[in-house]
Amino acid sequence: MTVAAVIVAAGRGLRAGGGVPKQWRDLAGRPVVAHALAAFAAADRRVLVIHPDDLDRARPVAGDALIVPGGQTRDASVRAALDALAGTGTTRVLIHDAARPLVPAAVIARVLAALDTHPGAAPALAVTDALWQGADGLVRGMADRTGLWRAQTPQGFRYDAILAAHRAHPGGAADDVAVARAAGLDVAIVEGHKDNLKLTFPDDFARAEAIIRGRQMDVRVGNGFDVHAFTAGDHVWLCGVRVPHDRALLGHSDADVGMHALTDAIYGALAAGDIGRHFPPSDPQWKGAASRIFLAHAAALAAERGYRLAHADVTLICERPKVGPHAAAMQAALAAILGVDPGRVSVKATTSERLGFTGREEGIAALATATLVAG
């Protein structure tokens, strides 16, 4: 599965004030669009769709995102982004409005999960208020709210299906769900989130600032420690990398001591126990299992609970093998499993100065710290 995120930021909306289109206004020290891009840092690729006049604004915040000029309408802008993704191997695409900068990671995860069984999925909140029909400032009637939902983004689709739908659509659609349904695609509704508000009016920025302040206070830190003894073999698995060695590590799974420590650090930050709770060593199905299964589960659990990984730090303690030549590959392997930029993962090593079981080369130990933030 290869996931692309399309951030639509080509509009000219000025109702939010500030004298510039709302996606370029400052929000907690950086442009709104920068927050939206950051929410999709785990995507395999990102596309930022902008108005051609905003190129100079976009370059400093785009990072590794592909910048694509938008069209005269929203659906034309999305079509341009989808066309730009042709031939990249993208299998799923998340289409998101830049004006929704605070989408929680859990919402994104729910959309992607729904695409396992549906060609399209989108988050929404059920309408809970009474609905009136009004004219001239007076209530003229009531409307039934049964079955009504407030649509949000990202709206996710299997890439080939939504590309074909957009290419066949005459234009003028309110959103990508409308395009998909016009093409006969089923779109699943997943649970949205109240924080995933759309910035439209000046007061919305105050609400968004308050949400960010609340999120910044919800930081979780967890620690993990693991040790494995040496046994007969010709390689060890360390942080997802096969390292040649004159011995192997003994364990029920592949004995990746670094990945085990990091997995426990994430579980610890979530107050969710340890690997043994989720993958009991008494269960034969985990014998010889790849430790990436455990780490991916911990990362998914964090996302499900509304957290994202801000930073991870792993220290391997051994005399041999030498970790330095493999550290960059380990960093990249862990980052890929966690769905984060490699710059958020640290892998380093030390010795115990020939003291203790690691100094006697009886095994390898690992320490890890994981920092999670809400949102």
Bigger pLDDT: 231 vs 214: 231
pLDDT number for residue 374: 81
Mean pLDDT of the 133-151 span? 95
pLDDT number for residue 218: 83
What is the C-alpha separation between 346 and 228, in angstroms, rounded? 21
pLDDT number for residue 27: 92
What is the C-alpha separation between 79 and 163, in angstroms, rounded? 7
Least trusted range by pLDDT, from 197-201, 213-217, 250-254, 344-348: 213-217
Q: What is the three-state SS of 105-136?
A: HHHHHHHHHHCCCCCEEEEEEECCCCEEEEEC
- Answer whether residue 1 shows pLDDT above 90: no
Confidence band for 129, pLDDT divided at 50, 70 and 90: very high
DSSP, res 24: G
Bigger pLDDT: 90 vs 374: 90
Confidence band for 73, pLDDT divided at 50, 70 and 90: very high
Helices (H), the chain: 32-39, 55-62, 74-84, 105-114, 159-168, 176-182, 202-216, 257-269, 275-278, 292-304, 327-338, 356-359
- Answer whether residue 78 shows pLDDT above 90: yes
- Answer whether residue 17 shows pLDDT above 60: no
Radius of gyration of the chain (CA): 24
With CA atoms as reference, report the closest residue to 12 among 132, 117, 98, 91: 98
Mean pLDDT of the 46-59 span? 95
- Answer whether residue 16 shows pLDDT above 60: no
Which residue segments constitute the domains of the chain, with CATH numbers given? 3-129+148-216 (3.90.550.10), 219-374 (3.30.1330.50)
- How many other C-beta atoms are found inside a 10 Å radius of the C-beta of residue 198? 15
pLDDT number for residue 13: 65
- Answer whether residue 62 shows pLDDT above 70: yes
Backbone angles phi, psi at 222, to 5 degrees: -130, 150
Confidence band for 34, pLDDT divided at 50, 70 and 90: very high
pLDDT number for residue 223: 97
Mean pLDDT of the 34-51 span? 95
What is the C-alpha separation between 314 and 302, in angstroms, rounded? 18
Confidence band for 19, pLDDT divided at 50, 70 and 90: confident
Tens-digit pLDDT profile for residues 224-278 = 999 999 999 999 999 999 999 999 899 888 999 999 999 999 999 999 999 999 9
Tokens 């957009």: give the residue.
Answer: 166
Mean pLDDT of the 140-163 span? 96
Give the mean pLDDT of the chain.
Answer: 93
Confidence band for 18, pLDDT divided at 50, 70 and 90: low
